[in-house]
Structure 1
Amino acid sequence: MSNMNDKPQRRWLGPVFLASLALNLFLVALIAVPVIKGPPDRYGPPPKGYGPSVMYGALKELPEEDRLIIRHAMRERFREVAPHIRETREARDRLIDAIAAEPYDEAAVRAAFDAISEATMAMSALGREAMLDGFAKLTPEQRQRVAKAMREDREKSKGIRFRHREGQDERHMEPVPAE
């Protein structure tokens, strides 16, 4: 006769415990990583090139209200910019093809570079006009905040320029000439 205190073995208890432990560790990591690393950069990396992107670092530090005015001005011009984005992409494809072509055709490479430059300059001009429109819609206090953020951003970037001047550029490029 079997003992009444004998309980049936629960073989499922071990795997359930391990699954629970794994889930808890995952949740702890999910919560801990943002706390340790800090909040993510909502704005992503700065855009490449010149024009309005030069002010990217300064603009992302502005209060949301100020950024919305500038962003709205930029969006109003986007339909004008979009064709130039396509032109740049197509010219870049032509550049890639021209560089890889046999025999090498310097005129084709030069033409592709010129097309990229023209499209980029057109986008820069439209971006500049959008920024001017946005600045005109800001109050004097908002423009002061933009100017202050730009000054602070410039101060932050000075170290980068000096590093390049001292020949410490990790890309092995020539140092930027002194101003």
Structure 2
Amino acid sequence: MRPSRSWLLRGALGASLGASLALNLVLGYLLQAGPQRGPDVDRAQARIERVLSEPDRLVFHRAMEAGRPEFQAALREHRQGRPAVAEALAAEPFDPEAMRAAMAQSRARWQSFSTSFENSMIQGFAAMSPEGRRRVAKDMRGRGGQRSGQK
């Protein structure tokens, strides 16, 4: 199976982030990226909530909903910037500097989304019980970084 151009581009962008390995691991575990959709924040939130007790689920959900306007706006900005990368890639003659600039802008928008999403998760994790955090950590380890639908 040959990876698509969008997956290769995502890989290049992800590799260049490098600023926060922990963030990338957590977000990689939580966010499911589709070729057209990008990260699925609702699925990420549901994946955490499904392993929690009702009290922990409620406090985590409240924290995520409080941060939703900020991280959704950042995600929209990131998605709106995607065409610039594709345009720079397809330009003839190809301009490496234009490509670097488009990728840097995309990386900055992704970082803005990642930071705001991470802040909401951390608020939720801080509000839940130690048992709730252990459940989430156990679920993450049990999945071993597998994508949804893979066994």
Under a length normalisation based on structure 2, what TM-score does the superposition of the two structures give? Answer: 0.58
Amino acid of the structure 2 residue aligned with 1:125: T
Q: CA RMSD in A?
A: 2.8
State yes or no: 1:118 paired with 2:108: yes
Q: Match for 2:90 among 87, 93, 100?
A: 100
State yes or no: 1:145 paired with 2:135: yes
Cα deviation, 1:23-78, whole Å, max 9, x if unaligned, reads xxxxxxxxxxxxxxxxxxxxxxxxxx736533438626513624443333222112
Change beyond 3 A, Cα 1:93–1:68: farther
Could you say which residue in structure 1 is the equivalent of 2:64?
Answer: 74
Distance across 2 between alignment mates of 1:103 and 1:59: 46
Distance across 1 between alignment mates of 2:75 and 2:132: 30
Q: Match for 2:119 among 129, 134, 152?
A: 129
Q: Match for 1:53 among 11, 27, 42?
A: 27
Could you say which residue in structure 1 is the equivalent of 2:75?
Answer: 85
5+ residue gaps, structure 2, are 1-13, 15-23, 31-43, 147-151
Amino acid of the structure 2 residue aligned with 1:84: A
Q: Which of structures 1 and 2 has the bigger CA Rg?
A: 1
Change beyond 3 A, Cα 1:142–1:60: closer
Displacement of 1:117 in angstroms is: 0.7
3-state DSSP of counterpart to 2:121: helix
Under a length normalisation based on structure 1, what TM-score does the superposition of the two structures give? Answer: 0.50
